[in-house]
Structure 1
């Protein structure tokens, strides 16, 4: 049998390097450790990229899938550095990027009745590698309730509120549980959100939110203050999008802190 030519291995004469090339939105099962000691098995959307030098025509897309399957029994945040290193070696690249995005579930008890239900959160693990080393970030998107302080102040009856998505992305010098990041955000909301509430619970969360009004600016500043006080965190970004209930737009705020590891 005659050898099959590797078209992607041909040289390219345009002398234009590509910053990221690879595969996006491929599904693969993963395992995530829980703070309680258990383990969740879920499915993640993966994005995997490497750089491509100016003199290479293309990369080998099938090798990205091979890497996923090689790590099939161990994909977790702990296996990220090994996956990134494998990717550089197999793709003969100088830099690489892997992101896996997945739902994470926490069993929550309603504040009064104690009825339990699962609450889902969107989580991403993001890994980058180059000559400077390997960097891992964790992102959580936490849905919460925010109640408008201005509306409460000027209204004789009630105040408008909305559901908000608070996104926190952190780089840490040591391990941080997903539950810790989620609880940190929920503690600064006008109220937490629950999967299931009975009438006494609805009364409680409604009144609790009324007693804890927050502008979008308050939300990101209060979460940032907690992140500033956490010694394990090297850098972070916190952003909040409030899906307004009386306007046809969202309110948005962002705070970032970038530090070098000590």
Structure 2
């Protein structure tokens, strides 16, 4: 049959990334407490396309995924990205896997246990410089405004802040490590289940530890900086302000020496 994709392009411009997005499939990830956790991945796959070709072969992305065992570890994930590059006869290949990761968390006073979900991402890039794998987590925390607390006779405004941390490492890093570092960076973690004694504890603890969004991102960056296996990180804190019609944010990115 005629290979239309391999025919000459009407416009001779190279494409940096072309592929498929949002393909869902089962996924198994490492779980620090239980060994393994089953979840669901949403996957984006892409390659570069030289200027002389009209199109890429989209079905080959799915074939590459079908040949993967669904285990999200360094060796298997690298093998997947290499398979995408080879099947598409490309120079560069990129795979991004997004998935919810679940942890059972006890409430701070009552000890009642509930399930928290965290949006996680693993990205693999294979280029002429080699293979690079980047992990990311998105973690909600509570923040209390130090300025509001200092100038108000009663109370202060507080809000939910989301910390987005990404990193590359020279060895294995648990998702739980990144989540724990992010949760410790705000005024207080947030919880799925809080009894009255828990609400009292969280409120008092948060007001005793007020944080600007700048404080939050610096706290998270310090923890990432101190981690012995992390070699690069980017962290952003976005505060969904309770008394403003906008969000506040701050970000830090650094290649560690």
TM-score grouping bracket, smaller chain normalisation = over 0.9
Secondary structure, in 3 states, of the residue corresponding to 1:135? strand
TM norm structure 1 = 0.95
TM superposition shift of 1:13: 5.1
Correspondence 1:213 to 2:210: yes
What is aligned with 1:241?
238
Correspondence 1:75 to 2:71: yes
TM superposition shift of 1:41: 1.0
C-alpha separation in 1, matches of 2:237 and 2:250: 6
Correspondence 1:9 to 2:13: no
What is aligned with 1:164?
161
Structural mapping, 1:145-184, within 5 Å: 145-184=142-181
C-alpha separation in 2, matches of 1:62 and 1:206: 53
Structural mapping, 1:29-48, within 5 Å: 29-48=26-45
C-alpha separation in 1, matches of 2:70 and 2:160: 36
For the 8 Å contact 2:26–2:70, the answer to whether it is kept is: no
Secondary structure, in 3 states, of the residue corresponding to 2:216? helix
C-alpha separation in 1, matches of 2:159 and 2:10: 55
TM superposition shift of 1:77: 3.1
C-alpha separation in 2, matches of 1:63 and 1:242: 41
Alignment counterpart, residue 194 of structure 1, candidates 184, 187, 191: 191
What is aligned with 2:110?
113
What is aligned with 2:130?
133
Ranges in structure 1 where 5+ consecutive residues have no aligned partner: none
Root mean square deviation, CA, Å: 1.1
TM norm structure 2 = 0.97
Please list the CA deviations of residues 27-69 of structure 1 after superposition, one character each: whole Å capped at 9, or x if unmatched.
Answer: 1111011001332111111110000011111100001011111
For the 8 Å contact 1:244–1:251, the answer to whether it is kept is: yes
Please list the CA deviations of residues 61-93 of structure 1 after superposition, one character each: whole Å capped at 9, or x if unmatched.
Answer: 00101111111x333133110011111110000
TM superposition shift of 1:12: 2.2
C-alpha separation in 1, matches of 2:111 and 2:230: 33
Ranges in structure 2 where 5+ consecutive residues have no aligned partner: none
Please list the CA deviations of residues 180-220 of structure 1 after superposition, one character each: whole Å capped at 9, or x if unmatched.
Answer: 11001111210001110110000000000000000000000
Dislocated runs of 4+, deviation >4 Å: none
C-alpha separation in 1, matches of 2:50 and 2:105: 49
Secondary structure, in 3 states, of the residue corresponding to 1:81? helix
Count of residues in correspondence between the two structures? 256
